[in-house]
Amino acid sequence: GVGVKLVSACLIGVNCRYDGKSKLDRKCLKLFKKRELMPVCPEQLGGLSIPREPAEIKKSGKVLTKNGKDVTKNFNKGAKEVLKITKNLKIREAILKSKSPSCGLGLVYDGSFSGKLIKGNGITTTLLRKNKIKVITEKEL
Ligand code: SF4
């Protein structure tokens, strides 16, 4: 096997989402219990609080909260911290939460806070893929 994989912490039941809740995925929890996953929350690692205002990626590439606060630096820092963890632990694969502005793969919210999705990846997903880490979402498990 390829060893331990990264997982978005909210998928194994950690209450780290913007709304203070998790997004528990049974398959992820099962793998975690088998010690196959290393949980991380890039937004938490980027210094954001729980709960926090929801944020989306704008067309400009900046990440803004619903009230217009620029949290791009937090998102970038979180992505870098996650990348560091993958390097330290020699992790090659990640299972990340779909649609998130940090963790999403293929589809993310369009920046209008209206629930609309567009093609694109989260900030952490983009950095991991640039560094040859394979990313899938919980939906491909
Ligand atoms: Fe889950 Fe990723 Fe959002 Fe953290 S940043 S709550 S791990 S989707």
- Give residue 1 CA to ligand 1 midpoint distance, Å: 26
> 71: pLDDT confidence band, cut at 50, 70 and 90?
very high
Average pLDDT score over residue span 4-22: 98
**Structure-token pair, residue 131:** 């560094």
Residue 57 in contact with residue 111, Cβ under 8 Å? Answer: yes
Average pLDDT score over residue span 21-39: 98
> 21: pLDDT confidence band, cut at 50, 70 and 90?
very high
Q: Is 122 in the pocket of ligand 1 (CB under 6 A)?
A: no
For the chain, strand residue ranges (E) read 5-8, 37-40, 55-57, 63-65, 93-96, 107-109, 117-119, 134-137
pLDDT at 81: 98
Q: Is 52 in the pocket of ligand 1 (CB under 6 A)?
A: no
Q: Is the pLDDT of residue 2 over 80?
A: no
What is the identity of the amino acid at 70? D
- Give residue 29 CA to ligand 1 midpoint distance, Å: 15
- CA 87, CA 72: separation in Å to the nearest integer? 23
pLDDT at 131: 98
Average pLDDT score over residue span 1-10: 89
Task: Provide the whole-model pTM.
Answer: 0.97
- Give residue 99 CA to ligand 1 midpoint distance, Å: 10
Residue 68 in contact with residue 35, Cβ under 8 Å? Answer: no
